């Protein structure tokens, strides 16, 4: 039988399939079910600074007293955080797979405190969600990028457990950015909220929440390139991974682990079993006994024509179309 063990952020995983941060990972019961179905690790549902402030605002609504606002804000913030810390502590007692916490803030000053508290609660690692919308036309790119770099340095000096940055793909030089970020790991890519417009009601709505199998294209390209260009970096591939074949593709491109989420909403938690079985069967059919034997085999630096990762036009397919 094929050996599926791998190491991600220094954590020993029984297989490279990680259930990503979502409502699927928000309770002990759900996490236990995920472990039962065979996942290698779990990323807890994110704690959002925005959520904390929003809840505090609703509770204090109608009060003009600064003291009341301060009290409610403090109470909600600490209780929301405490509930999250309790989830980490209880998860560590109830399951054996690694528990990766996830934090998502909009101001850098809040992150270090959240991260340290999560470490003290017993999390095995932390996934850092950062997204700063570059909407100031007078600002240079490095103004926005320095927010990420400053945060990374603060976390390095504060934390003892490993962490990964979950990133979007919209950087002017993604390879250079990740190199300069210099963190233990990255998750490629985050799936951010995106607005849509209902043309009948003229109201804003959310665009499609779940990924589709076709969404793997972008992450596959950059996993293949970055895994070759930057050493000593763990990469978790995310977005568009809906079956075992997609897991194999990302591992071949150089991913250390692969996160799944949307496919579980669409197909149920039991689908974890199918994904792992597909991975095992592919390895057996191709004569691989371990992940390391084929990981990165088709990355940018390992293939005969690396230009396939760089090509952006459909020349081969559309050149004959009149």
- pTM greater than 0.85 (yes/no): yes
Percent of the chain with pLDDT over 70: 84
> For residues 60 and 40, which has the higher predicted lDDT (pLDDT)?
40
- Over residues 19-41, mean pLDDT: 97
Confidence of residue 309 (pLDDT cuts 50, 70, 90): confident
Q: In CATH, which superfamily holds the domain spanning 6-318?
A: Aldolase class I (3.20.20.70)
For residue 189, say if its preceding peptide bond is cis, omega within 30 degrees of 0: yes
Pairing of strands 195-198, 203-206: antiparallel
186 three-class SS: strand
Closest CA to 225 of 293, 310, 98, 283: 310
In this structure, are strands 203-206 and 234-237 parallel, antiparallel, or unpaired? Answer: unpaired
CB 238 within 8 A of CB 189: yes
Report the distance separating Cα 190 and Cα 259, nearest Å.
Answer: 11
What's the CA gap between 115 and 127, in Å, rounded? 9
What pLDDT score does 241 carry? 97
Q: Which of 111, 129, 124, 122 is nearest to 42 (CA)?
A: 124
- Given a contact cutoff of 8 angstroms between Cβ atoms, the answer to whether 162 and 185 are in contact is yes
pLDDT digit string, tens, across residues 192-242: 777 888 889 998 887 777 888 889 999 999 999 999 999 999 999 999 999
């Amino acid at each position: 039988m094929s050996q599926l063990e791998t190491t991600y952020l220094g954590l020993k995983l029984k297989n490279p399939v990680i259930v990503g941060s979502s409502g699927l990972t928000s309770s002990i019961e759900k996490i236990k079910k995920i472990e039962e179905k065979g996942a290698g690790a779990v990323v807890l549902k994110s704690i959002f600074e925005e959520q904390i402030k929003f809840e505090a605002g609703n509770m204090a609504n109608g009060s003009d007293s600064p003291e009341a606002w301060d009290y409610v804000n403090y109470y909600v913030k600490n209780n929301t955080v405490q509930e999250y810390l309790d989830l980490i502590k209880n998860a560590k007692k109830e399951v054996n797979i690694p528990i990766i916490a996830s934090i998502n803030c909009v101001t850098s000053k809040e992150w270090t405190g959240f991260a340290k508290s999560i470490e003290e609660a017993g999390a095995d690692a932390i996934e850092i969600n950062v997204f700063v919308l570059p909407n100031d036309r007078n600002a240079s790119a490095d103004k926005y990028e320095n927010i990420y770099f400053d945060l990374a340095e603060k976390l390095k000096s504060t934390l003892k457990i490993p962490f990964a940055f979950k990133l979007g793909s919209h950087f002017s030089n993604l390879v250079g950015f990740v190199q300069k970020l210099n963190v233990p790991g990255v998750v490629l890519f985050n799936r951010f909220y995106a607005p849509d417009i209902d043309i009948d009601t003229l109201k804003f709505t959310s665009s499609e929440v779940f990924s589709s199998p076709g969404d793997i294209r972008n992450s596959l390209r950059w996993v293949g390139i970055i895994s070759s260009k930057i050493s000593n970096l763990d990469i978790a591939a995310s977005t568009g991974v809906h079956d075992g074949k997609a897991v194999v593709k990302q591992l071949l491109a150089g991913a250390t682990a692969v996160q799944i989420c949307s496919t579980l909403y669409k197909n149920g938690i039991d689908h974890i079993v199918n994904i792992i079985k597909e991975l095992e069967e592919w390895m057996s059919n191709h004569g691989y006994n371990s992940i390391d034997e084929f990981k990165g085999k088709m990355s940018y630096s390992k293939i005969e024509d690396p230009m396939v990762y760089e090509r952006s036009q459909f020349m081969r397919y559309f050149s004959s179309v009149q």
